[in-house]
Amino acid sequence: MPELPEVETMRRGILHLVGSRIVRAEFPRGPKRPISTHPTPAAIVADIRDGRLSAVERFGKRLALAITFPTHERWLVIEPRMTGLMLVAAPPTADHVRLVMHMQQAGERRRQPLVFWDQRGLGTLRLVDACGLEQVCGPRALGPDGLAVTPDDLATSLGHSRRAIKVALLDQHAVAGIGNIYAAEILHRAGIHPRVACRRMSRRAWTRLADTTRAVLAEAVRFEGSSIGDKLYQTPARRPGRFQHRHRVYGRAGQPCVTCRSAIHRIVQGQRSTFFCPQCQPRSGRSGG
């Protein structure tokens, strides 16, 4: 579920814990199968204990918690994948709680749990040093962040690609943070057909796409992400996001386009659903407004 806006909302929702100490951490017994971690859960628990949360960063769809000690620093890199959530409120179910960090602010007695919850368990946790962070979240691993991507970034990395633009937008090496929902919403607002080959994109189209990408993602952050059918995704305080009310194409196959009233189409690209309006998103150029 979580794409850039959802992960950014997670980041903001736990920022108030910066400065607090990890008194204790645990991987609960509940889940049937363990999630993927590196190193082992036991090693992570031992290595983050008594560390101080000194920063919360986001790299594309990944969250990175800086944990500092008197002598060194570690980063806990969290990849929520489909159903992972960071929570400071009571989790939806007890049996999908993957990691609990008991946080304590300096001079306070009260402990506050910071939870990673993941129903499907496809999420991953990695505890790395600064060098490891570079490998996992640095520019060799991820392209420019979706909130800051420029026309030049896109034209340079994708301008010669034969891939369909929708598929390319999901490539985290090209732009970091876009997933299936926002790829559809961005292309609709930019008036670009999802099957257009990257190499056929004009300079104007790259500009429109980069500008729209930043705008849509920033707006989705303001609305705290998308909670489809109020199901899984919620903010750390367990509020649903509100950007789903502004979706124009995602999940709307057969329904009228909000701008031109013609029916939204659903196709499959790279084994994933793509939603678009054939009227507003012509294969070449731009028809209407």
Partner DNA sequence: CGTTCAACCTGGGCGC
Partner DNA sequence: TGCGCCCAGGTTGAAC
Residues labelled catalytic: 2-3, 61, 272
Question: CB-hemisphere CA count at 13 Å for 30?
Answer: 17
Q: Is 39 helix (H, G, I), strand (E, B) or coil?
A: coil
For residues 159 and 152, give the distance between their C-alpha atoms in angstroms, rounded to a whole number: 9
Binding residue (CB under 7 A) for DNA from 21, 58, 96, 248: 96
Shortest distance, position 91 Cβ to DNA, whole Å:
12
For residues 151 and 173, give the distance between their C-alpha atoms in angstroms, rounded to a whole number: 15
Q: Would you say 51 or 91 has its CB closer to DNA?
A: 91
Residue 194 engages DNA in binding (rule: CB under 7 A): no
Binding segment for DNA among 44-52, 98-106, 127-135, 270-278 (CB under 7 A)? 270-278
Binding characters for DNA, 211-240, by CB under 7 A (x = yes): --------------xxxxx-xxx-------
Amino acid (one-letter) located at 246: R
Tokens of 277: 């309006």
Residue 2 engages DNA in binding (rule: CB under 7 A): yes
- Total number of residues shown for the chain: 289
Shortest distance, position 211 Cβ to DNA, whole Å:
21
Asked if residues 144 and 175 have their Cβ atoms less than 8 Å apart, the reply is: yes
Binding residue (CB under 7 A) for DNA from 9, 37, 157, 180: 180
Residues 53-72 that bind DNA (CB under 7 A): 60-61
Q: Would you say 181 or 205 has its CB closer to DNA?
A: 181
Alpha-carbon distances, residue 250 vs 77, 151, 181, 273 (angstroms)? 29, 24, 6, 9
Neighbours of 47 (CB within 10 A): 17
Neighbours of 262 (CB within 10 A): 12
Residue 265 engages DNA in binding (rule: CB under 7 A): no
- Interaction site with DNA (CB under 7 A): 1-3, 6, 32-33, 60-61, 79, 81-82, 93, 95-96, 119-122, 160-164, 167, 170, 172, 179-181, 225-229, 231-233, 241, 244, 269-273
